[in-house]
Amino acid sequence: MKKPARFVRLIVFLVVLVVAAFVVGFLAGRRGRAPSVAEPLSAPAASAAQSAQGEGGERPPGTVTVDARKRQLIGIRVGAVDKAPFTFTLRVLGRVAADETRLYVINAATSGWVVRIEPATPGSVVSKGEVLAAFYAPELLGAQQAFLYAVNTLERLKEQSTAQDRQFESVVVSVAQARDQLTNLGMGPQQIDEIARTKERVQQVDMVSPTTGVIIFRNIFPGLKFVQGQEFFRIADLRRVWILADVFEGEDKYLKPGQKARVALASQKLTFEATVSRILPLFDPASRTLKVRLEADNPGYALRPDMFVDVEVPVESPASISVPADAILDSGLRQTVFVEREEGVFEPREVRTGLRRGGRVEITEGLAPGERIALSGTFLIDSESRMDLAAAGLDVTLARDPVSGAMVSIAKAEQAGRKSVCNGQAFYFATDENKEAFDRDPQKYAPKPAVEKPPSPSPDPSPSPDREPAQR
């Protein structure tokens, strides 16, 4: 039993001896090592430093080099920026409405009773001159008697060769006045001509349609006693209709009077050509949109009032720079694209965007025609750029040089003394020349400060708590 215990103690002693020898050797090596003034950068840091400098000098912070194999692997596509008209299709919702210049109302010209109604209901298509109903009015018989007397007198004068011109003209005026009286009672020209031809009075007045159209309102019943001014029928000529399109504020500038548009009725797979009216858009406070009026022919009455239609307007804005939406890295506070300085070398550049339509975005500032940018894979390029900046020890916070428009590192510009303050705002520069140009004329590059109104003095300042009130 004693031999195994002695053997275990021997093994433990040897292990402790080995560990002690290793510790003593490590400490001796640390004491003997000479301290170095500067150590070389690690591989990632050295790569980042090289990516921040080019053969011809320094590159903007965040510039990254991506080799051909990696570009192919992550699917980076590069294309040239050009300036061309920004074309897109504005798609809005529209509602069909009757053309109010082709809307006709039949109302009562006098008081009376309805004696007959034809089968004309809302939705019925009626022709011009078609009889819709008939009524009786107390003034009807007296007006007809005066009309027939004037007509007969005129015919007798025409047969007499001795009639004087003045007398003849007086009778003609009497016929016209009697005819106008029947018209004011609601009688149509066809019925008046029939009375003049037959020399017989009628017991009722026919209500006829003044146009060819569709009845959209009806308020008449057999035996109805009505008063002057009561509305009976409303007829709309739907051979041409209005399209009221809802557009948001700012979109109405793309719709010009006389511009052609396409109106689609999706339920019936029909399309129509419409024209933007010359009437100014009206603001609808309920929907917070502008009502733009379009006019369209309506063959076959396919478009009915209150129908919804799809309106497509081709729009072509003035020539401008536009890029695919995938080429822009939008962080919310700034929009960035990656410009290819040379093959595989991408520089981040902040841009200002404008109109966004059809998968493309208008660039109002930051790019020039002919420059090549990354059209896809911008998120992966941005990741590489930020990793290189972090490895090189550079601040990833960038600012725009107000003179050249290039992006510069705020920390690096502060270390180099390329910082100026104007109107309470700090500006950073890529080169000393840019700073000198800014300092010579800061108002040329710095934005103008907003004018603040001075605070108005209090009309009745309260006394200070430390001051005693005045003695009365």
Taken in order of first residue, the domains within the chain and their CATH numbers are 53-82+319-443 (2.40.420.20), 90-99+241-317 (2.40.30.170), 107-236 (no CATH)
What pLDDT is recorded for position 89? 84
What pLDDT is recorded for position 3? 52
What pLDDT is recorded for position 19? 58
pLDDT in tens, the chain (472 residues): 445 566 667 676 666 665 556 555 544 444 444 333 333 333 333 333 333 344 444 567 778 888 888 888 878 888 898 888 877 888 899 999 999 999 999 999 899 999 999 988 999 999 998 999 999 999 899 999 999 999 998 888 887 766 677 777 888 899 999 999 999 888 988 999 999 999 989 999 999 999 999 999 999 999 999 999 999 999 999 999 999 998 888 788 888 899 999 999 877 888 999 999 988 888 888 888 889 999 999 998 899 999 999 999 988 877 888 888 888 888 777 888 889 888 888 888 888 888 787 788 888 888 889 899 988 888 778 777 766 666 555 545 667 788 887 777 787 788 788 889 888 788 888 888 888 888 888 888 876 654 444 444 444 444 444 444 444 3
Q: Are 367 and 353 in contact (CB under 8 A)?
A: no
What pLDDT is recorded for position 470? 42
Return d(Cα 424, Cα 422) in angstroms, integer.
5
What pLDDT is recorded for position 104? 94
CA dihedral (427, 433, 436, 440) in degrees, to 10, reads -110
What pLDDT is recorded for position 238? 93
Return d(Cα 214, Cα 207) in angstroms, integer.
16
Classify each residue of 95-111 as buried b or exposed e, where b means 16 or more C-beta atoms within 10 Å of its C-beta. bbbbbeebeeebebbbe
Exposed / middle / buried, residue 216 (Cβ in 10 Å: 0-12, 13-18, 19+): middle
What pLDDT is recorded for position 364? 87
CA of residue 190 relative to chain centroid, distance: 53
The conformation of residue 288, written as its DSSP 8-state character, comes to: T
What pLDDT is recorded for position 165? 73
DSSP-assigned beta bridge partners for residue 427 = 420
